[in-house]
Amino acid sequence: MASLHVIDHPLIQHKISLMRDKNTGTKEFRELVSETAMLICYEATRDLPLKEIEMETPVCMAKTKIVSGHKLAFVPILRAGLGMIEGVTSLVPAAKIGHIGMFRDPETKESVKYYCKLPDDIAERDVILVDPMLATGNTAVSAITELKKLGVKNIKFMCIISSPEGAAAIIQNHPDVDIYCGTMDQGLNEDKYIVPGLGDAGDRIFGTK
């Protein structure tokens, strides 16, 4: 059964408040997204398996631990997910990065994949899918379905702000996927924006509005 992790560390709450402010400019917003992604990723990687190794310190031989097990890939959902990549790869520099682009078909309202480029060995990797805003959950649910079709078995979803509707959609459709977010907001407005949210994350990261 999936679990929902709201990582409400004071630094994360503080940074999210700064991101919510409509007067926060592009440069600062982008830095905040990256820093918050790093802090949430710290928790999302808490269960990485370790193995014991032996090494020589300047003082003596020591048994000590390093990360082992499956290799990791981060997959940002285009385009806003790109803003989280610098932060998460600063924690796990050896991780590979794939990309998934999805858009909402205006007629069917379904999420349609328009781009997908993933590491060749994606089926052997644990994947952390990243998107700053989990709103309706349609895009996240479709992206997870795509990864599963390619054989990925262990998927986590990481966002900065979740709506209750989005989290419920993932839990209902993909009960094996753990969700990590920095805050759970009130819900969605009629335009499917998260309330209070922070507006359009992609526009604010890339300065397109």
Residue 183 a catalytic site member: no
Give the separation between CA 19 and CA 16, rounded to whole angstroms.
5
Closer to ligand URA by Cβ: residue 118 or 134? 134
Residues 134/157, Cβ–Cβ less than 8 Å = yes
- Mark 112-151 with x for binding to ligand URA (rule: CB under 6 A) and - for no binding: ---------------------x-x----------------
Residue 79 a catalytic site member: no
Q: At what angle do helices 26-44 and 10-20 cross, to 10 degrees?
A: 150
Closer to ligand URA by Cβ: residue 135 or 184? 135
Residue 108 a catalytic site member: yes
- Cα dist. 103→15, 111, 197, 208 in Å? 28, 6, 20, 17
**Residue 30, preceding peptide bond in cis (omega within 30° of 0):** no
The reply on whether position 7 binds ligand URA by CB under 6 A is no
Question: By CB under 6 A, what part of segment 44-83 binds ligand URA?
Answer: 80
The reply on whether position 194 binds ligand URA by CB under 6 A is yes
Closer to ligand URA by Cβ: residue 133 or 177? 133
Angle of CA points 31, 37, 38, to nearest 5°: 90
- Chain contacts with ligand URA (rule: CB under 6 A): 80, 133, 135, 193-194, 197, 200-202
